[in-house]
Amino acid sequence: MTPKISVIGIGYLGAVHAASMAELGHDVIGLDVDPERVAALQAGRAPFHEPGFDELLRRGLASGRLRFTTDYADLAGAEVHFLGLGTPQRADGMGADLSHLRTAVAALAAVLPARDGADTLVVGKSTVPVGTSRELAETLEQVAGVRLMWNPEFLREGFAVQDTLTPDRLVYGIPDPGVRDQRVEMLDAIYAPLLEAGVTRLVMGYEAAELVKVSANAFLATKISFINAVSEMCEATGADVTDVARALGMDDRIGSKFLRAGVGYGGGCLPKDLRAFLASAEEHGVGEALGFLREVDAVNERRRTRVVTLAEEMLGELAGRRITVLGAAFKPDSDDVRDSPALDVAARLLEAGADVRVTDPEALAGATRRLGPERVVAGTTAALHGAELVVLLTEWREYRDLDPAATSELVEAPRMIDGRNVLDPRDWAEAGWEIRSLGRAPTPRPAPRPTPLPSGQRVLAGTTPSRQDIALAAARQLARA
Ligand code: UDX
């Protein structure tokens, strides 16, 4: 059976896109060069943790509208081919590595001209440096009837299904937005249910479409690093960054999203896309204009170092000290550990000689690959056992809901670094914890309660004044002034 749609590259983006297109009613085939990934998906097993994806995959397979292959020949005849390949950071610099994309385009071009003269649309979804679409179009459009569009994907891990089926907007990049273009109608037909549901679609030039995506990610990274830079200022002055962020976010020109201060951003997109944007700006001679992005990257890096110095402030020498890191994924509801701040900090603590244990509800395999099996523990309770310091670095619900009193029973010493500002420091301090956060002054533990005096004795005047005494004295002073 000839599929209507093919999706080449079925990683996070591609697999979710393929299953979502089947959900919209299209016949879809997903291709990957990794036979294990293809076999897993074909058997209904998601190769990553993504809420809602398993059901979508199962529904697609059961409907007969979704299948997977490793063979490009199976794609021949499809009307629309989506490119969902990864564009990682180059091993030799900051730019994007386009080799997977180029190889896939060449392999696709070899099976393309088989539609009896009808147009074939190739739709790029990968995040690419500006100029890539025009360059790839030159190769692809040598085949009669083949047209290329760029349609960047904005999905977030953890919300991938929702972001694909109900996106904020659809961006179509075409070579000349000034003229009517058949490609727009072809892609509109694929996305018809989304457009009918009211999703806005914006048609623009290739370069603008490419830039929307990289600048969106650079902006998000900048927003996080902005609040994290303010967080450094808070640490220097005793302000609480969560107070600052809350008040800032209420200005709807600023908005409260992506203003959560902490150990910073990671993942397979923000860090590498920011660096690729910088590299591409330099290539185009505007490196100076986007030079501040280097600072955005540096602020993000410093937050990771700060967690290690905080650990040193709390423990002194780290060598041999038992530290439990809560979280390995780069963010909650994901098992992705690419450029994960949590794993990076864990690795730095290990380098400093600490005896580190890492746990995570979903990302144990990734943590094991990076740190080795002896460092990774399944289950929060087991991981906390014997800890002299706990460092919360990925804000999974289960860690946010930890009970301070019960947790103190599990550890060797009640010390906590809240690297995501998700715990209430007062509750933890009251339960006897020494708790430090990023961007907040240390929360003093309440003084131990005085031992009750033997009956009959009275507290002598002149001992530690109560809050009421202080308030009364202040009121008297004011009245005198
Ligand atoms: C991101 C973009 O959001 C998405 O549009 C794009 O398509 C791919 O890259 P994702 O990598 O899934 O998506 O993660 P995102 O939710 O953006 O979070 C990125 C990182 O920033 C995480 O490490 C997260 O913990 C961190 N973050 C996010 C903060 O430190 N503070 C915040 O306020 C928000």
Q: What structural domains does the chain harbor? A: 4-199 (3.40.50.720), 206-447 (3.40.50.720), 452-481 (no CATH)
Helices and strands, counts by H and E, the chain? 19, 13
Residue 202: CA atoms inside 13 Å, Cβ hemisphere, count?
13
Question: Which contiguous run of DSSP H or E holds residue 358?
Answer: strand 355-359
Q: Name the amino acid, one letter, at 297.
A: D
For residue 461, what pLDDT is reported?
38
Q: Name the amino acid, one letter, at 315.
A: L
Q: In testing the pocket of ligand 1, which one of 215, 220, 244 has its CB within 8 Å of the most ligand atoms? A: 220
366, 214, 198, 194: which is closest to 284 by C-alpha? 214
* DSSP string of 426-454, one letter each residue: HHHHHTT-EEEETTSPPPPPPPPPPPPPP
Answer whether 26's CB lies under 8 Å from 64's CB: no
Q: Which one of the listed residues 29, 40, 269, 325 is annotated catalytic?
A: 269
For residue 458, what pLDDT is reported?
45
52, 48, 7, 44: which is closest to 26 by C-alpha? 7
The residue nearest atom 16 of ligand 1, judged by CA position, is: 156
Q: How far is the CA of 220 from the centre of ligand 1 (A)?
A: 7
d(CA 183, CA 437) in angstroms, rounded, equals: 51
Asked if residue 428 has its Cβ within 6 Å of ligand 1, the reply is no
For residue 355, what pLDDT is reported?
98
d(CA 356, CA 377) in angstroms, rounded, equals: 10
For residue 3, what pLDDT is reported?
83
The residue nearest atom 14 of ligand 1, judged by CA position, is: 156
For residue range 350-388, what is the model confidence (pLDDT) as tens digits?
999 999 999 999 999 999 999 999 999 999 999 999 999
For residue 444, what pLDDT is reported?
81
Q: How far is the CA of 48 from the centre of ligand 1 (A)?
A: 17
272, 12, 17: which is closest to 151 by C-alpha? 17
For residue 460, what pLDDT is reported?
40
For residue 54, what pLDDT is reported?
96
The answer to whether residue 234 is catalytic is no
Predicted TM-score (pTM) of this structure:
0.90
DSSP label at residue 89: B
The stretches in the chain having pLDDT less than 50 are: 456-466
199, 101, 80: which is closest to 149 by C-alpha? 80
Provide the sign of the torsion angle of the four alpha carbons 197, 203, 206, 210, taken in this order: negative
In the chain, the N- to C-terminal Cα span, in Å, equals: 91
| Burial status of residue 236 (CB atoms within 10 A of its CB: 0-12, 13-18, 19 or more) | exposed
d(CA 298, CA 312) in angstroms, rounded, equals: 21
d(CA 45, CA 53) in angstroms, rounded, equals: 10
